[in-house]
Every structure is written in C-alpha cells, then in structure tokens.
Structure 1
Amino acid sequence: MDLDAVRTFVAVAAAGQFQDAAAALSITQQAVSKRIAALERDLEVRLFHRTARGARLTVDGQAFLPHARELLRVAARADASVRPGRRALRVDVHSRRTAAGVLLQEFHRTHPRIELDVVTLLDADVHAATAAVEAGTIDATFHAVPLPERRLPAGIRAARVIDERHEILVGPRHPLAERRAVTPAQLAEHRIWMPGMAAGTEWADYYDELADAFGLTIDLVGPVFGNEALLAEIAESAELATLVGERSRYLWPDSYDLRRIPVRDPAPVYPMSLIWRADNRHPGLGALRTHLKAAREVTPAAKVWLPRWTHRSA
C-alpha cells in the first residue's frame, strides 16, 4: 500500500478539504486528488463524498481511517527503530546479568527520557562487537579491550568504565562457605568450575592469565546446561565453586543456600571498556559516557590484580 497515499487520505480526512490537505502536505491539490483516486482504485471503494463544501468521509472511509492512522504510526516506529539519532540508543552487553547490564539499568532509571535498546550479540567477542560498532549496527558495546597488543580500528574509541571485582560462589558444604573473604592464594587449593568458556575470547585470555598468576585450577570441562543448572550443581557440591562478578545478578531458591564470598588481597579485577564510534552523534551516547564515568569505582592499584594487557584509558 502506498504510504504517501495513506498519509494524504489522513490529511484530507483531518482537513475536510483537498486544498487544505495539499497546503499541509506541501503538494498541489492535483497531486492530492491523484493520490486519493489511486488509493480508492487499490481498495476498490469510495473514501470521500466530494461536495461543494469539501470532502466528507464515506462509510468505507470512516472504517478505513483508524487503520490508516495505525499504518502511519507503525511506519514511523519502523523508521525510528533504525535511523540514527531517532532510534533508541542501542547498546550491546555480553550478558544482562553482568555489571554492564546493571549499570545500563541504573542509567535508564536516572535518564528515563533517553530511549534505550539493550541487545546481546550472542557469542560475540571484542572483535565481532567492535565490528558491529564500526558498521553502525550498535552504538556501543562493553568488552575488555586487550591493548596495546591489539589495536582498535581507526575511528573507534574506548574508555575503561568498569573494574569488576570477583566473588567466589560456593554451596553451604564447601570448605570456604563460612569465610568472610578469601585470597587468590587460598583459591589455589580448590576447583573452580566455569564450563563452556570459549577459547580465544578476551574473557578466556583473562582467566588463563589469572590462573597462571595464582596457580588456580579453572575447569572448563563439561556440557553447558545454563546458569540455573550450574547453580544447582554448586549448591549440592562440597567441592565445586565458580567465580562471579560482584555486581552480577543471579537468582536461586532459598534452599540452595549459596554463598558469595569476596576475593581480596589482591582483588582480581575484570576490566571492561565502553567502545563506540568517534563520529557517532546519537544524543544519548554522550549522556551514557558521562554517567559511566561518574559511576566508576576505582580501587587503589595496590589492592587489585589486573591482566598485563589491560586497556588503561579512563
């Protein structure tokens, strides 16, 4: 259906005059007449009674009017969903459970007028996500940026906005269950289970370096049945533990009695940066960057452990 003709029909219905509708649409009265005639041919009905006083809707015209208005609303929403500057700010997070997802929700609460579209590019590492930013598919993404060994493409910017400290998650029968905090050295005696981590990703590189630094045993073996299954296994085990970010969100039944114990002295920190395109003029992007900069919690360097490849930009 010709949306210009539909738009013209709605304008004539509102104005009651072909001439007034033409003025409102900045087209000639002849163009209005042609569009309405073409629409009537397509629908095989009369939409207006033409009179000396103007144009009055027929019964069919009255029936079609609300649908015509809805067609235009849907078209406007479709246009706004993809047009930069008019669509929502589109931000990628690896998981809505992580600190990035939590911070985006806080941003939405403090900036409710900025429309936000939170997406998850499944299985996308920093390179795939950066390519999506470069192509304009998304406005920004959260990832660890391994620099200077790997350079960002020209025109892409990154700023470290999250230093996510770790907690160890254990069941009630685990030997560490009653600790208020643990050190990385103490974790070396225990099996840390993190099945399904894809080799070659920046997070796999991070945990490889963490394991080497403190002699940890990080077990990636086993099929992945989802977080709910992982939590159930840990709750029943006296040996299994896993690492989670301190601001990550996990829910489990009270009967699991799982314990989240901070890892300190030093605190391993997973560094995440916001990545965006320098020429992106979306009005919400600057507000997001300002919010993240203000919300960033910086732990004294002497008390944290960071991988050697950490992107240092603030």
Structure 2
Amino acid sequence: MELQQLRYVVAVAETLNFTRAAERCRVVQSALSHQIAALERELGARLFERTSRRVRLTSAGEAFLPEARACLEAADRARAEVAAAGGELRGRLAVGAIPTVTALDLPVLLRDYRRRHPKVGITLTSAGSDHLIERVRQGGADVAFLGLPPRAEPKGVRSRRLGGGELVAVVAPDHPRTEPESDLAGLADEPFIDFRAGVAGRVQSDEAFAAAGVRREVPFEVSSADFMVDLVRQGLGVGMLPAAYATRFPDLRVIRLRGAPTRVEHLIWQDRPSPAAAAFLGLIDERPGS
C-alpha cells in the first residue's frame, strides 16, 4: 500500500469522478485507475462502485476513506516535523472561519503569516460554526474561528474565547422605522432575514427573542451574511448582524437593541497542532488583546 494510492482514493471519493480525480492528482486517468485497482486487489475488496453514470463508495470504501485520510495527514505531519526540526517551516495550514469574524483582522493575520512562513501552503474555508467544528474534529482544518451563543462551547476540539459582542438589527436606508434603538418586542411585527434554523448563527437570535417572550417570523433563511445584506437592501426584512461587522455596510441603517442577542467568538484547533498550525497559534498570541 502506497501513499500515492491513498491520495488517489481520497481524490476519487471527493470528486466522485475518475477523470476529475486524475486531473486533480495530475496523472492520466489510466494510471490512477490502475493504482486503485491494484490497491483493491491488495485489500481484497472493492472501494468504489463504477457505472457509466456514476461513481460511489462501497461500504468497504466508506470504512477505508477516513483511515486513508488519517495516513496522509500523518505523513504530511511527519514531513513538517522533520523540516521544523531543521529550522524550516513547511507543510500546510488549513484555516476555517465564519464570514463575520470581528475579534481579529483575519486577512491581515493570514498575510503576516505568509510573509513569515512563505513555504507553508495556506487554504481558507468559509462556513458556519457547526461545520467548522466538525472539519477541525475530523482533521480537515487545523484551526477555525467560530461565533457561538454565549452558553455554547465547542466540543471535541481545543478552544479559547477571543471576545464577544451584541448583535444589532439592520434595515434598508428607506425603511419606515427611524428610531436608532428598540427593544425586541418593537420589531415583532417585522419580517426577518436570518440564517437557517438550528445553526449557531441563528440560535443566538432565537434564544434572545424567546427569552424576551417575543414571537417573530423569519420568511427568509440564508446561508451567508452577504446574501442577508443583499435582501435587507431591497427592503425585504430586518437582518441581524454583529455590531462590529455591521459597520462594513454604511448604507444600511442600524437599530441598537435593548436585550440584544449576543455571541462569542472562539478560536479552535486540533489536539496536536502541526508545526504550521502551532506557528499560526503563536502569531495570534502576539496580537494585542488576543
């Protein structure tokens, strides 16, 4: 069993297409297919079901995939540890972040890290907090930045709080409401634009309205803050954004809230950070207030 074979299996599992997997691995498809077939013979089991229309993992393939990823991760870590022992930082740094990070300036942080460690490959995934926790837990990301309700704590990862803040309501510039401040009951008759029910970005608002005994309607559910802002601009409803993040949209009107929902930003990372991840965590520690 060779590491290259494991890379081919992971590529096919993620693309569900032998041609695209070969392109990703920069080999001809026949070579990739041959190596996977050789691995299947060695294992005594088929990893993929192949038809003219689709490719999918068999039950054996589903069992094999996480172990293949773990082996590749261990090999990458070993290379990085050897390089770090020689005074050179190499490898990869996979970062995850919610789109509304405000506790630190993430683009500047990534820029400074790349300047300091130019031989480390950096990737960034933007997603919701629940998805990012799972990515770090499974090794798909080294570190991630989350936003959670005040009482929530990320499970299965190492973490620390970066800071917190209140949410504000944002409305279109020509919205009939003119008051700069309101309680939650004062907005009860407004349609809301918010994230999907159950995700961390929505829970903080739902809990605040429930605690205030206020029932609200959320006819528009979105998966990104930018889409929320686009809908707010069209006057379709009231959005809820972290106060520090809302300042990025000066065309929107902000309504401060009494009894406002709050959220806490967290930094999470794997139990045994790679040298590249440890250096990133160290860079964060250097930031004032971190």
Question: Structure 1: any 5+ residue segments left out of the alignment?
Answer: 1-78, 297-314
**Alpha-carbon deviation of 1:92?**
0.2
Residue type of the partner of 2:240?
L
1:87 matched to 2:84: no
Does the aligned pair in 2 maintain the 1:194–1:218 contact within 8 Å?
Answer: no
1:137 matched to 2:140: yes
**Alpha-carbon deviation of 1:236?**
4.3
The 5 Å alignment of 1:141-160 reads 141-144=144-147, 152-153=155-156, 156-160=157-161
Residues 186, 120 of structure 1: alpha-carbon distance in 2 compared, 3 angstrom cutoff: same
1:246 matched to 2:243: yes
Q: Which has the higher strand share?
A: 2
Task: Name which of 268, 271, 277 aligns with 1:278.
Answer: 271
| CA distance in structure 2 between the aligned counterparts of 1:295 and 1:192, rounded to whole angstroms | 37
TM-score norm. by structure 2 comes to 0.54
- The match for 1:46 is none
Does the aligned pair in 2 maintain the 1:99–1:245 contact within 8 Å?
Answer: no
Residue type of the partner of 1:271?
V
- The match for 1:219 is 217
- Partner SS, residue 200 of structure 1: coil
Bigger Rg, structure 1 or 2: 1
- Partner SS, residue 105 of structure 2: helix
**Alpha-carbon deviation of 1:207?**
2.0
Does the aligned pair in 1 maintain the 2:183–2:257 contact within 8 Å?
Answer: yes
The 5 Å alignment of 1:55-204 reads 83-84=76-77, 85=80, 86-95=90-99, 98-99=100-101, 103-108=105-110, 110-111=112-113, 112-114=115-117, 117-120=122-125, 122=127, 125-126=129-130, 128-144=131-147, 152-153=155-156, 156-177=157-178, 179=180, 182-185=181-184, 187-191=186-190, 193-195=192-194, 197-204=195-202
RMSD, aligned CA:
3.9
| CA distance in structure 1 between the aligned counterparts of 2:262 and 2:107, rounded to whole angstroms | 22
Question: Structure 2: any 5+ residue segments left out of the alignment?
Answer: 1-71, 81-89
**Alpha-carbon deviation of 1:230?**
4.5
**Alpha-carbon deviation of 1:206?**
1.8
1:102-137 CA-partner distances (Å, limit 9, x unpaired): 621232355542457352254x543x4333223322
Aligned identity (percent) is 18
Does the aligned pair in 2 maintain the 1:100–1:142 contact within 8 Å?
Answer: no
TM-score norm. by structure 1 comes to 0.51
In the TM superposition, structure 1's runs of 4+ consecutive aligned residues that sit over 6 Å from their partners are: 146-151, 249-252
> How many pairs does the alignment contain?
202
| CA distance in structure 2 between the aligned counterparts of 1:92 and 1:281, rounded to whole angstroms | 15
